[in-house]
């Protein structure tokens, strides 16, 4: 196994001159200078006998942030090592992990991971592919390839119309989510065979009768299929991938129904949801991306209408969009997560800009980012519902909007999680108890991937935006 040091991770950071207007090397020098200034200030205050209690905490926090920022790559490596150690290797060259699931009767049950990106072996396979690419360490490449082998065997044995219908066709659950991981794994590992398997995974869904599909959302429905097919098309520009995405888009147009102010959106059990994973924001994002890829204005217009609906629900008092998943009788909560609420809505609007750049969209982005930046710490670290999800949204915004200060805010959130966790087993995953949570959206693979991106922002795609 390769030995890694803080100097190595600092060297990688020093070599990264990402999109930021200030290079990482210069930024660390600036932090170092800021800290020295503050320490001199502290000494002056002591010498003059002034009360310094208020400033002590700020200096300590800044030291933690600087230290951890320089070490984000080393922390991603520690997480990668924990995931590799927890892998169950098969004699047939496969690798899988044990997943902990809460059953309907609230018992916790341990079972082998499925194949999906959200909670299956596609997630750790993608993270380890990225880690192999960044570090060059062969153990990550070997385990990633073994995990993709598990994924392909699971797809071959399980994929059929009934299985697909039950599992979804989205960007988190379903064959398109696996295609997304396979396609990027192909590039990161320089393994062309994985890209062909990604196309096959999309084709599996393309053979379904989309006229019967009722799930519109990004999570397990048509909008997620569009985002994944477009992502695979970027790496393998074949017509049939865009044709499939367009067929999903046409089905989305047909599924719309009038909601508030007669604006047409996609009802779920008579509620027209907001947000990224099940709501209007995610579906509008997919339709915008489809319009940008195909030039079809109808998809862009439907996206604009969905955004207008979502805007009409915005609460300026709370400075967020309500989460309509709750009972109609209860007061609606306001989530602050990637999956639901302001952070995810900001990400979707930023992703939509290529097709939909209006003052209203820009105002939504400002509102979503402002809410994300001012939110109190989340109760978990995971990318779906927790701290690293918010950090990823800010990192995505920093890159797409050319706002390097948001990268620093993202790194501060990550630093808070890393310094609190102290070891891979210390991260607050979902569920909280059980063995190594290797999955992407609720476990360590997503946390590790976010830390990798924060240490090398230009090198890896945003998985949370299906780049």
Give contact residues for Zn ion (rule: CB under 5 A): 337, 339, 384-385
**Cα distances (angstroms) measured from residue 207 to each of 160, 161, 164, 201, 239:** 10, 9, 11, 10, 15
Closest C-alpha to 283, from 349, 217, 184: 217
Give me the least distance between CB of 320 and Zn ion, in Å please: 15
Residues 6+ apart with CB under 8 A from 183: 194, 195, 198, 231, 232, 235, 236
Give the closest residue to 67 by CA, choosing from 409, 413, 415, 408: 415
Based on CB atoms, which residue is closest to Zn ion, 78 or 337? Answer: 337
Q: Least distance from C-beta 56 to Zn ion, angstroms?
A: 36
Cβ proximity to Zn ion, 147 vs 385, nearer residue: 385
Pull the structure tokens for residue 300.
């862009």
Nearer to Zn ion, 179 or 385 (CB): 385
Using the structure block, give the residue that is written with the tokens 């097919």. 229
Q: Is 401 exposed, middle or buried (0-12, 13-18, 19+ CB in 10 A)?
A: middle
The token duo for 107 is 């018992």
Between CA 145 and CA 84 the distance in angstroms is 12
Q: Are 147 and 125 in contact, with CB atoms under 8 Å apart?
A: yes
* Number of CB atoms found within 10 A of residue 253's CB: 13
> For 95, phi and psi rounded to 5 degrees?
-135, 135
Closest approach, Cβ 383 to Zn ion, in A, equals 8
Q: Supply 178's token pair.
A: 């696996």
CB of 290 to Zn ion, least distance (A): 24
Which C-beta is closer to Zn ion: that of 24 or that of 310?
A: 310
Query: How far apart are CB 87 and Zn ion at their closest, in Å?
Result: 25
CA-to-CA distance for 129 and 149, rounded, in angstroms? 13
Contact 389, 343 (CB under 8 A): yes
Among 124, 2, 14, CA closest to 455: 14
Nearer to Zn ion (CB atom), residue 336 or residue 361: 336
Question: At closest approach, how far in Å is the CB of 339 from Zn ion?
Answer: 3
- Closer to Zn ion at the Cβ: 384 or 465? 384
Of 121 and 336, nearer to Zn ion (C-beta) is 336
Report the nearest approach of Zn ion to the CB of residue 430 (Å).
Answer: 8
> Which residue number, 241 or 283, has a Cβ lying nearer to Zn ion?
283
Question: What's the sign of the alpha-carbon dihedral 95, 100, 103, 107?
Answer: positive
Name the minimum Å distance from CB 379 to Zn ion.
12
Tell me the closest approach of the beta carbon of residue 384 to Zn ion, in angstroms: 3
Minimal CA–CA distance to 395: which of 374, 411, 372? 411
10 Å CB burial of residue 89 (0-12, 13-18, 19+) is middle
Nearer to Zn ion by Cβ, of 185 and 343: the residue is: 343
Residue 389 CB, nearest approach to Zn ion (Å): 7
Closer residue to Zn ion (CB): 70 or 385:
385
């Amino acid at each position: 196994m390769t030995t890694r040091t803080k100097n190595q991770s600092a060297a990688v950071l020093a070599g990264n001159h990402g999109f930021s207007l200030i290079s990482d090397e210069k930024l660390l020098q600036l932090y170092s200078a800021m800290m020295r200034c503050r320490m001199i200030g502290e000494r002056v205050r002591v010498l003059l006998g002034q009360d310094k209690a208020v400033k002590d905490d700020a200096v300590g926090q800044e030291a933690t942030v600087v230290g951890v920022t320089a070490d984000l790559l080393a922390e991603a490596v520690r997480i990668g090592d924990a995931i590799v150690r927890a892998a169950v290797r098969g004699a047939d060259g496969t690798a899988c992990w044990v997943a902990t699931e809460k059953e309907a009767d609230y018992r916790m049950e341990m079972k082998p991971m499925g194949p999906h990106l959200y909670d299956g072996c596609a997630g750790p396979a993608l993270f380890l592919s990225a880690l192999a690419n960044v570090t060059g360490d062969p153990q990550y490449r070997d385990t990633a390839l073994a995990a993709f082998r598990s994924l392909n065997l699971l797809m071959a044995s399980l994929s059929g119309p009934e299985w697909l219908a039950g599992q979804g066709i989205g960007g988190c659950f379903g064959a398109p989510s696996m295609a997304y991981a396979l396609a990027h794994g192909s590039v990161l590992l320089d393994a062309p065979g994985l890209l062909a398997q990604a196309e096959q995974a999309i084709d599996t869904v393309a053979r379904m009768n989309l006229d019967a599909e009722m799930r519109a959302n990004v999570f397990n429905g048509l909008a997620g299929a569009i985002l994944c097919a477009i992502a695979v098309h970027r790496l393998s520009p074949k017509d049939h991938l865009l044709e499939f995405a367009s067929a999903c888009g046409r089905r989305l147009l047909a599924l719309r129904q009038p909601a508030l102010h007669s604006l047409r959106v996609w009802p779920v059990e008579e509620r027209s949801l907001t947000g990224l994973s099940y709501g209007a924001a995610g579906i509008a994002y997919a339709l915008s991306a489809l319009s940008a890829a195909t030039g079809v204005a109808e998809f862009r217009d439907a996206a604009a209408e969905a955004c207008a609906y979502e805007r009409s629900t915005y609460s300026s008092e709370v400075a967020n969009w309500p989460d309509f998943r709750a009972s109609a009788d209860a007061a609606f909560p306001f989530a602050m997560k990637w999956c639901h609420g302001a952070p995810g809505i900001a990400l979707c609007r930023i992703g939509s800009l290529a097709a939909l750049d209006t003052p209203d969209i820009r105002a939504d982005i400002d509102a979503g980012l402002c809410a994300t930046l001012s939110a109190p710490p989340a109760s978990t670290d995971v990318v779906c519902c927790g701290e690293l999800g918010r950090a990823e949204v800010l990192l995505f915004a920093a890159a797409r909007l050319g706002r390097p200060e948001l990268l620093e805010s993202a790194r501060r959130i990550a630093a808070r999680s890393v310094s609190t966790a102290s070891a891979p087993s210390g991260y607050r995953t979902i569920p909280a108890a059980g063995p190594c949570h290797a999955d992407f959206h609720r476990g360590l693979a997503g946390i590790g991937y976010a830390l990798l991106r924060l240490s090398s922002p230009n090198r890896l795609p945003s998985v949370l935006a299906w780049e």
